[in-house]
Structure 1
Amino acid sequence: MSAVRRSHHGTFLRESLLAFGPHAGAHRVAIRASVSTLVPLAVLLLIGRPEWAPWAAFGAFAALYGRNRVHLSRLTMQLTAAGVLVTMVGLGSLVAMLPSPAWLMIAAGAVLAGLVSVVSDAEDWHPPGPLFALFAFSGSASLPGGTLADAGLATLVAAASAAFAVLVGSAGTALRRARGLPTPPGELTRDWTLRAGRRVQLRRVARYAIGVLLAGTIAVLLGIGHPYWAMVSALVPVSTATLAAGVVRGTHRMLGTTLGVLVAAGLLALQPSALWVVVLIVAFTFGAELLVGRNYGIAMICITPLALLAVHLASPTPAEVLLVDRLVESIVGALVGIMVGFATRSWNRQRA
């Protein structure tokens, strides 16, 4: 029996945790994401407004959508995602105006995660799910609050960045047309049906909402800063089709974050200038998109310092606080997501 168990563990490590997927043209989306991040951040540095960087970064997430889409389908998907992301920044900035926004951020984040998952399923988003939308909402809600004018400014910055990302995403098609090359078909189809077996799954909506609500609540009750990191991390395990895949993704999140925190600690110890922080953010963006489809855990080694450097650029915080918060929040969120997946594992069998 012990030999069988060791064999299963070895298979789990080789085929799941350590699996490395095909390249599948990842460099193209990595270039789009890097350019879409670099230009807005460089503009903000030039005008002396690095504190606006998170809003610009949230808008730039639009570049991540439509990895394998072409022509109108990628454009349509990125426009939809951009609209959702900008809306999330605006709503989050309104929540940030409150004296104590944490609890409303958690409750609204749970509802919005479920709603965005419906849009994602119906339009067959890639990457799927509400992770980036929730990040945009909860991250904006966690920034120092201001006035209604500040919320409007945040929305405008995110919208400008998202518009540029969509423009970058359309550049490939324009170049192919200019060179007289054929444009592969790939028209986007929508399916908003809620029936069993269709893309829109209400059980998945419930999983997202429960995971976000539990992770955010636990993080606040524990008194950890940046509870939105736990909320976002909780989405990772519950976004998979099976419990086993969720355990793998959650484990990837925890191990990759741990290594990424060590990388970020070394970089922050060097006290890089704002210019170097932007250069590093762009480099890690490229690395993250190059790896995320191949091994999520390895990609997290890039994603973690990317997130920490972006926060540091917007509002410099003691490095030890950022590092501890990121590590603890990510572990809390991933564990909550795995537990939600375990508690609802029967839903997979019922759907099948």
Structure 2
Amino acid sequence: STHDLLTSLRQVEKMLAVHEASYQQGLRSLKKKLIAVLTYMPHCVRSVTASCPKPDPPAHGRRLGRVFDVGHEVHFLCKPGYELIGPRTRVCLESFKWSGQKPMCRRELQKLHRTDCTEKKNCCICVADIDECRLFPLGQPGLLCVHQCVNTPGSFHCFCPDGYDLASDGRSCTDINECENQMHNCTGDQVCVNTFGGFQCVEVECPFMKNATYIKTSPMRCERNPCMLGDVACTQAPNSISFHYLPVVSNMSAPRVLFRVSAARVLGDTLRFGLAGGKSRGHFSVQRSGRQTGTLLLVTPILGPATLEAEVEMSELERNDLLGRYLTKVTLFVSPYEF
């Protein structure tokens, strides 16, 4: 009946009103919680800011720099009459650790033996502080430190140059990978190459040749565009040029294998390997090491720091007719250090 229908509609209306009131109450509660979260969030963000622990200044010295976030630097100075041993600058790494090792300030003049005497009952008691660093100098049997040794009362301490961390043995030096730790200043067009004790920013550019044009097919490779029919000068230019960068230590023993060049497939009946160009030819040699492989050898040691380049050419022939030339440019970044 009409009366029953109206009664049902009123009940539905009351139920909807109750649901709407409950919804509005829930919405107001959610807004309050959201405001509380937004109010608290800045404090949370500040409390988890990525930073390194505050580095202490060395004794008889001071620290410059008050920002300890990732990527920031701090610097160290010594008081007059003292010299700084260790890195002058340390960088906060992404691992939330400082690069290098903690520096120290040492008196500028130290003798092999320092004698401290105290008088007791008219008797002079002397204690000699032996300088272990001078008793066991670098490069001799009983080597204490790979790089630098500093005498301390009753002991000694090893230090590494910038770009290295002191190894867990307390005497050796471990290279810091600036490229991996984002400690470099290379641009987006450059490639960061880690070296022993530093890094290099390189940018590969395809060469310009009068009778041939090249395009970059990968960050480290350029390929020649097809030649016009009958253009002999173009066909004699390298089909491809690859670039490789090798970090090495100073005064590395020789002969030593540096790099191998191989052909993925052979169309002709002969493969030849040799050095192209005259730069640094006296340091390198190329030998055949397999049917499709040539090896670049270091034949004389190189004292760093230095940068040398070797060009390995692979030629493919069919009945002595040239089918293609492939050039590999290998650049050596020689460290100033032998470790």
TM-score between both structures, scaled by the size of structure 1: 0.19
TM-score between both structures, scaled by the size of structure 2: 0.20
Of structures 1 and 2, the one with the larger relative CO (CA 8 A, separation 6+) is: 1
Query: Greater share of strand residues, 1 or 2?
Result: 2
Flag the structure with larger Rg.
Answer: 2
Query: Greater share of helix residues, 1 or 2?
Result: 1
